[in-house]
A and B are shown apart, each in its own frame.
Chain A
Amino acid sequence: MANTMARSFLQVAAAEEVAPPLRVVQIEGLVMLKIIKHCKEFSPALVTGQLLGLDVGSVLEVTNCFPFPIQEEDEEIEADGANYQLEMMRCLREVNVDNNTVGWYQSTMLGCFQTAELIETFLNYQENIRRCVCIIYDPSRSNQGALAFKALKLSDSFMDLYRSNNFTGEKLREKNLSWVDIFEEIPVKVSNSALISAFMTELEPDTPVTQRDYDRLQLSSSPFLERNMEFLIECMDDLSVEQQKFQFYYRSLTRQQAQQQSWLQKRRDENKARKAAGEEPLPEEDPSNPIFKPIPEPPRLESFLIANRIANYCNQINGKFFDKARDCFQKGFRKRLRDSDGPTLTYSQHPSRMTETTILFCYWNFVSSISSREREREDVLDLVSSTPMSHSVWIHATNS
């Protein structure tokens, strides 16, 4: 009995611990606030910081964080930075904070964070820590109203490929790896201790009037869109440069192959002549000839990263609601704007036109409730229903 028990224990101990895949990142409200504060203070400069927490099964808990100072170029960065980190970790350890590094966070400007440096940092971290994430926070998008937190990690297949330096077209086709597979986004969950939520509920201002967050309702998204378009255009230029590099490579490769063929042909003819004359045939290969030198293939990483960036910008431009819009539309959104007291408005909305329609509703509702004149109400109603919307937005007003 004991023997079998021991053996099975040994077996268990000897068996490789297969880590469950990371499914969700659980952030504490404290960490979010700290990140928001740090990034916002230094925006538009980009800042980074360290994340601390625990790795529990398939959940990565982030319980605390501390910011990194902005490094000057001409100081001794390495020693200073490492010292700072060590000191912070030591101090936090004394007050019972988990001083287990689980990743880092960085701020970004409108989402252009997919760079080669990010990948390098990931690989550096991955060497020491089994599981790490990078949290990206976008303060400019948060000004628009969404809480732009993203948890990223490199996909395993990409990491293996990159580490083995086998980043050629052949290998990529083999593994079926494309630019979408580089980064994996992990869903983020927020948790708070009970004490904190008690405090927050307590400290919430009583009336919604004092909450001045109606800036979010502001529809002038044009500066945001403009910047997005600018970045998108720049990225397209970069992409075309990369494409040209590839074209050049392929062209030179074809040329080289043609040259090789012709040289080979000449050699063969020569050899035939020699054989006829009874001499030694010359070798069919000549490594010293420059036309046999293999041309290096241009790195594909950059083009992948650019593709990622472009996709990001496109997503942001597409009404900001693109993917969620698809879900909402499938749910068949119906909402009743007013209750039975006055004229009711039911609408089925295509969420990609949310901004325009909502302002129309509010205007309509407001006007119709304040003004009792039938004529004015009808006017606005005509306006609303006659506005040509290319997608299907139907507004039915029913008078109860």
Chain B
Amino acid sequence: MAASDRTVLQFGPSSAVTSNITAKVHPLVIFNISDCYVRRPDQAERVIGTLLGSVLPDGTVDIRNSYVVPHNEFSDQVALDIEYHHTMLKSHLKVNPQEVIVGWFSTGLGVTGGSALIHEFYCREVPNPVHLTVDTGFRNGEGTVKAYVSVNLSLGDRQLAAQFQEIPLDLRMIEAERVGFDILKSTSVDKLPSDLEGMEVLMERLLTLINDIYKYVDDTVEGHAVPDNSVGRILSETVASLPKLSPPAFDKLVNDSLQDQLLLLYLSSITRTQLSLAEKLNTAAQMP
């Protein structure tokens, strides 16, 4: 920064890098944090721990795993069990060497004074750690998850303070997790959903979507709803993208695949009978 006559207190990101950071969180991390919070020792108000993950090439921080670190908090002092932190880090690195420290988390809504000290500690481990707060107290009536990076406030050359700046957070789920999302929501599920039930649920969702679209189109045509050209264009594109198969062609397509599947079914049923036969041969043979 060019020297000027008056020193100016600089808010805001001092470099382009901090303004572009976003964070992606896997739900596993939230689960882990909630579980640790539920299991915390009685006198602790909040739990603190390390976040593991990686930094993607486009600058987003991908938070994939976490573990809690025991700590003690007094009025303005914080004591973190550093040895535990390093041991756990080593163990985790043994399993997955790509997951490195990317930051730390704490439960509770805001950022407190103690957090700054802990953040400094993590700054020594990783250049720009991300601080994640998970509000387990539901103070705002909802569970807020926020991520911060620390930005240095400097007055000229002097470091004044570090400001925690919020960065956009994205909750991300991989395919398999989404499959089980419904069962992760409730407090108890009696059995895992099978293929059939999962398919059913999906079909119903698809149908509701189609129903909504149908209703919307109806309303627009009759003049109840405001016509929106872009939506209309998207809809017509979607409809046009359905493959235009003549009935005989569609017929043949369905029948062919049906026949293949029936053949496989037949083969596998034969195999099963063969199995029971083999079993009989194996154990029932009597030698005089």
Q: Which of B28, B36, B171, B283 contacts A173 (CB 8 A)?
A: B283
Chain A window 29-70, contacts with chain B (Cβ cutoff 8 Å), 1 for yes, 0 for no: 110111011101100000000000000000000001011111
B184 contacts chain A at the CB level, 8 A cutoff: yes
B113-121, B160-168, B202-210: which lies at the interface: B202-210
- Most chain-B Cβ atoms within 10 A of its Cβ — which of A29, A36, A188, A319? A29
Q: Given the complex, which residues of A lie within 8 Å of B175, measured CB to CB?
A: 142-143, 213, 215
B16 contacts chain A at the CB level, 8 A cutoff: no
> Which residues of B (227-274) have their CB < 8 Å from a CB of A?
239, 242, 247, 250-251, 254-255, 257-258, 261-262, 264-265, 267-269, 271-272
Query: How many Å lie between the Cα of A34 and that of B185 in the bound state?
Result: 16
The distance from the CB of B264 to the nearest CB of chain A, in whole angstroms, is 6
Q: Given the complex, which residues of B lie within 8 Å of A200, measured CB to CB?
A: 27, 30, 181, 184-185
> Which residues of B (22-71) have their CB < 8 Å from a CB of A?
26-28, 30-32, 34-41, 64-65, 67-68, 70
Q: Which of B68, B81, B136, B179 contacts A216 (CB 8 A)?
A: B179
Is B203 a contact of A320 with CB atoms below 8 Å?
no
A11-19, A273-281, A359-367: which lies at the interface: A359-367
Is A95 a contact of B36 with CB atoms below 8 Å?
yes
- Most chain-A Cβ atoms within 10 A of its Cβ — which of B26, B181, B254? B254
Is A33 a contact of B192 with CB atoms below 8 Å?
no
The distance from the CB of B21 to the nearest CB of chain A, in whole angstroms, is 21
Given contacts A179-B279, A307-B279, contact A143 B176 (CB under 8 A): yes
Is B287 a contact of A253 with CB atoms below 8 Å?
yes
The distance from the CB of B169 to the nearest CB of chain A, in whole angstroms, is 10
B190 contacts chain A at the CB level, 8 A cutoff: yes
The distance from the CB of A115 to the nearest CB of chain B, in whole angstroms, is 18
Is B38 a contact of A195 with CB atoms below 8 Å?
yes
Give the residue name and chain of the A residue nearest to B144 (CB): A202
Is B279 a contact of A383 with CB atoms below 8 Å?
no
A340 contacts chain B at the CB level, 8 A cutoff: no
Query: How many Å lie between the Cα of A202 and that of B185 in the bound state?
Result: 9
Is B287 a contact of A366 with CB atoms below 8 Å?
no
B78 contacts chain A at the CB level, 8 A cutoff: no
Query: How many Å lie between the Cα of A84 and that of B88 in the bound state?
Result: 10
Q: Which of A95, A254, A310 contacts B70 (CB 8 A)?
A: A95
> Which residues of B (151-197) have their CB < 8 Å from a CB of A?
171, 174-181, 183-196
Q: Given the complex, which residues of B lie within 8 Å of A389, measured CB to CB?
A: 258
Q: How many residues of A contact B (CB 8 A)?
A: 114
B1 contacts chain A at the CB level, 8 A cutoff: no
Q: Given the complex, which residues of B lie within 8 Å of A95, measured CB to CB?
A: 36, 39-40, 68, 70
B126 contacts chain A at the CB level, 8 A cutoff: no
Q: Is the interface of A mostly helix, strand, loop or mixed?
A: helix
Is B174 a contact of A40 with CB atoms below 8 Å?
yes
Is B31 a contact of A96 with CB atoms below 8 Å?
no
Q: Given the complex, which residues of A lie within 8 Å of B171, measured CB to CB?
A: 203
Is A217 a contact of B206 with CB atoms below 8 Å?
yes
Give the residue name and chain of the B residue nearest to A342 (CB): B214
Q: How many residues of B contact A (CB 8 A)?
A: 96
B198 contacts chain A at the CB level, 8 A cutoff: yes
B96 contacts chain A at the CB level, 8 A cutoff: yes
Given contacts A67-B95, A87-B91, A232-B271, contact A199 B30 (CB under 8 A): yes
Given contacts A243-B278, A243-B281, A317-B265, contact A194 B187 (CB under 8 A): yes
B6 contacts chain A at the CB level, 8 A cutoff: no
A97 contacts chain B at the CB level, 8 A cutoff: yes
Q: Which of B214, B265, B278 contacts A303 (CB 8 A)?
A: B278
Give the residue name and chain of the B residue nearest to A325 (CB): B196
Is A318 a contact of B265 with CB atoms below 8 Å?
yes
Query: How many Å lie between the Cα of A299 and that of B13 in the bound state?
Result: 71
Is A358 a contact of B199 with CB atoms below 8 Å?
yes
Given contacts A36-B180, A197-B185, A366-B210, contact A307 B196 (CB under 8 A): no
A76 contacts chain B at the CB level, 8 A cutoff: no
The distance from the CB of A183 to the nearest CB of chain B, in whole angstroms, is 15
Is A33 a contact of B31 with CB atoms below 8 Å?
yes
B282 contacts chain A at the CB level, 8 A cutoff: yes
> Which residues of A (64-98) have their CB < 8 Å from a CB of B?
64, 66-70, 84, 87-88, 91, 94-97
Is A380 a contact of B247 with CB atoms below 8 Å?
yes
Given contacts A211-B178, A369-B210, contact A204 B185 (CB under 8 A): yes
A116-124, A125-133, A283-291, A348-356: which lies at the interface: A348-356
A105 contacts chain B at the CB level, 8 A cutoff: no
> Which residues of A (358-384) have their CB < 8 Å from a CB of B?
358, 360, 362-363, 365-366, 369-370, 379-380, 382-383
Q: Given the complex, which residues of B lie within 8 Å of A253, measured CB to CB?
A: 287
Is A370 a contact of B91 with CB atoms below 8 Å?
no
Is A147 a contact of B192 with CB atoms below 8 Å?
yes
Q: Given the complex, which residues of A lie within 8 Å of B11, measured CB to CB?
A: none
B143 contacts chain A at the CB level, 8 A cutoff: yes
Q: Given the complex, which residues of B lie within 8 Å of A84, measured CB to CB?
A: 91, 94
Q: Given the complex, which residues of B lie within 8 Å of A203, measured CB to CB?
A: 27, 30, 143, 145, 171
A330 contacts chain B at the CB level, 8 A cutoff: no
Is A173 a contact of B284 with CB atoms below 8 Å?
yes
Query: How many Å lie between the Cα of A177 and that of B285 in the bound state?
Result: 14
Residues in chain A within 8 A of chain B (CB atoms): 28-30, 32-34, 36-38, 40-41, 64, 66-70, 84, 87-88, 91, 94-97, 139, 142-147, 149, 169, 172-173, 178-179, 187-204, 208-209, 211, 213-217, 225, 229, 232, 236, 239, 243, 246, 250, 253-254, 257, 300, 303, 307, 310-311, 313-314, 317-321, 324-325, 328, 337-338, 351-354, 356, 358, 360, 362-363, 365-366, 369-370, 379-380, 382-383, 386-390
24 contacts between A and B (CB under 8 A): A29-B183, A30-B31, A33-B184, A37-B65, A41-B96, A68-B95, A96-B39, A144-B195, A146-B179, A146-B198, A189-B188, A191-B188, A194-B187, A200-B181, A213-B178, A213-B179, A215-B175, A217-B203, A253-B287, A300-B282, A307-B278, A311-B272, A360-B254, A389-B258
With A192-B188, A311-B272, A337-B207 given, name 10 new contacts (CB 8 A). Answer: A32-B184, A95-B39, A139-B176, A194-B187, A197-B186, A200-B30, A213-B179, A246-B281, A310-B272, A319-B261
